[in-house]
């Protein structure tokens, strides 16, 4: 039986050599060009980052290490973490060893609860989660080993240790935040028998007599685990980690990026828009009523939350996974029925707007309604669920960035004056190249 660390130790040397050979043979090749529009558009579509844990082709959706997300959606989050790191799913022995590793590290230091208890009673749950991760920085194995002298080739090993410690503790921390912030009663202790996601569901304290809320949480944690490196939170975490700041700093930074309304709050906003429609029409709207609501939203200069995606040009496969879960477990729930009506109506409404490149639902269009169905109705907390899941991706990317000895991030910036002088004489893109979709 090979442990996760042993598996990585056998794969890293070959991966390092591959990168070295690639850079030596093709180091001067031009991979992409950047347009002025992309510079002012948040660098969207510029190929300038490396991420081997996952990719998101516009016509296919999330693919983790070569496996489309729908093919692994029924796996446990621990299995997906192994997949993110090694490119393969663990065998039974490997999964057991990882479970034991996480269980042995799951105890949250008492001072974390002291810090959280000292925060304002109305602190945002994401601020609480980020603070809890950051306040554990003094326990960083990487920090301690780096200060005592550590070869660059070995940086990945203590990074893995930090990752396992953070991942092991984050469910208990997130669940404790939920119970404290929303007055749900005392914290619920870990159950060492349960899987990572099921244990998280249990510690939240949401009634779950049939076990389907735990099933939803496992699905949620898998579907949100990783999404390339160019999104705000993953890039923030990677940028901080590239300075050899340890994972406590970088995971906290990633969570801070995820807290923004243009990134991690989408499922909360989707649910709010759905509930707004139900209130407006005194129940589940008809197709005509939902068409009216969608049109009014657009006429007011707003977007329809949960529809469209900066990368995808299809229905997000993760939405399909959530949608199928809802059809199986709560097809008659009024909120889910409204989500279904939105799905039937909104794409056609958006297709009439020629500027809309993707009128289809993304992952957030259904997830909030499902969480709401099980009684976790505090929308302000939903981003924490996202953060617990995305911690898997932050950590996996960081381990490989250190294993491949990636340098500090340092892109060059230019001034608007320089662009003003340079742009008029710069070459134009070929007519058939759409820079916004690269």
Annotated active-site positions, please?
A: 263, 309, 364
- CA angle 286–288–294, rounded 5-degree value: 100
Which residue shows structure tokens 């950051």? 134
Task: Pick the closest to residue 53 from 45, 40, 62, 61 (CA basis).
Answer: 62
Q: Are 136 and 109 in contact (CB under 8 A)?
A: yes
Task: Pick the closest to residue 311 from 63, 77, 85 (CA basis).
Answer: 63
In the DSSP assignment, the letter for residue 428 is: P
Kindly state the tokens that stand for 68.
């489309």
| C-alpha distance from residue 54 to each of 124, 138, 308, 339 (Å) | 30, 31, 20, 28
In the DSSP assignment, the letter for residue 225 is: S
Q: Are 366 and 323 in contact (CB under 8 A)?
A: yes
Q: Are 147 and 379 in contact (CB under 8 A)?
A: no
Kindly state the tokens that stand for 224.
């949100």
Task: Pick the closest to residue 76 from 214, 184, 260 (CA basis).
Answer: 214
Query: Kind of pairing, strands 63-64 and 54-55?
Result: antiparallel
Q: How far is C-alpha 17 from the chain's CA centre?
A: 29
The backbone torsions φ and ψ at residue 307, rounded to the nearest 5 degrees and listed phi first, read: -125, 135
Rounded CA gap, 84 and 89, in Å?
A: 9
Task: Pick the closest to residue 200 from 220, 171, 225 (CA basis).
Answer: 171
Q: How far is C-alpha 407 from the chain's CA centre?
A: 23
Task: Pick the closest to residue 295 from 353, 362, 339, 337 (CA basis).
Answer: 353
Mark residue 90 as left, alpha or beta (left: phi above 0; alpha: psi -120 to 50; beta: remaining): beta
Task: Pick the closest to residue 271 from 372, 375, 346 (CA basis).
Answer: 372
In the DSSP assignment, the letter for residue 144 is: H
Rounded CA gap, 202 and 139, in Å?
A: 27
């Amino acid at each position: 039986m090979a442990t996760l660390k042993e598996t990585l130790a056998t794969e890293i040397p070959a991966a390092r050599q591959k990168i070295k050979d690639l850079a030596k043979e093709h180091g001067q090749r031009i991979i992409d060009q950047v347009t002025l529009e992309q510079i002012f558009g948040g660098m969207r579509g510029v190929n300038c980052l490396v991420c081997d844990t996952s990719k998101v082709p516009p016509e296919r959706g999330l693919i983790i290490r070569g496996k489309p997300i729908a093919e692994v959606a029924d796996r446990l989050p621990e299995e997906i973490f192994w997949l993110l790191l090694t490119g393969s799913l663990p065998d039974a022995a490997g999964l057991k060893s990882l479970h034991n590793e996480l269980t042995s590290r799951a105890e949250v230091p008492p001072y974390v609860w002291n810090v959280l208890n000292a925060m304002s009673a109305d602190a945002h749950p994401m601020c609480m989660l980020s603070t809890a991760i950051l306040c554990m920085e003094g326990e960083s194995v990487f920090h301690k080993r780096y200060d005592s002298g550590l070869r660059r080739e070995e940086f990945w090993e203590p990074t893995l240790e930090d990752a396992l410690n953070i991942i092991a503790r984050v469910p208990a921390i997130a669940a404790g935040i939920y119970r404290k912030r929303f007055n749900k009663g005392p914290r619920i202790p870990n159950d060492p028998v349960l899987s990572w996601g099921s244990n998280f569901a249990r510690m939240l304290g949401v009634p779950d007599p049939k076990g389907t809320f735990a099933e939803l949480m496992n699905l949620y944690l898998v579907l949100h685990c990783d999404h390339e490196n160019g999104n705000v939170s993953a890039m923030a975490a990677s940028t901080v980690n590239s300075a050899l700041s340890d994972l406590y700093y970088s995971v906290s930074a990633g969570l801070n990026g995820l807290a923004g309304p243009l990134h991690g709050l989408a499922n909360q906003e989707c649910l709010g828009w759905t509930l707004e429609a139900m209130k407006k029409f005194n129940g589940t709207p008809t197709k005509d009523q939902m068409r009216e609501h969608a049109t009014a939203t657009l006429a007011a200069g707003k977007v329809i939350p949960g529809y469209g995606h900066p990368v995808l040009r299809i229905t997000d496969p993760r939405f399909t996974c959530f949608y199928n879960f809802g059809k199986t477990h709560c097809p008659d729930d009024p909120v889910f029925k409204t989500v279904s009506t939105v799905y039937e109506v909104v794409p056609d409404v958006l297709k009439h707007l020629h500027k809309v490149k993707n009128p289809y639902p993304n992952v957030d269009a259904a997830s909030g309604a499902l969480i709401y169905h099980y009684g976790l109705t505090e929308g302000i907390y939903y981003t924490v669920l996202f953060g617990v899941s995305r911690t898997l991706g932050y950590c996996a990317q960081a381990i490989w960035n250190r294993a491949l000895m990636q340098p500090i991030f340092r892109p060059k910036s230019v001034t608007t004056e320089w662009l003003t002088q340079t742009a008029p004489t710069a070459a134009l893109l070929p007519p058939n190249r759409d820079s916004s979709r690269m």
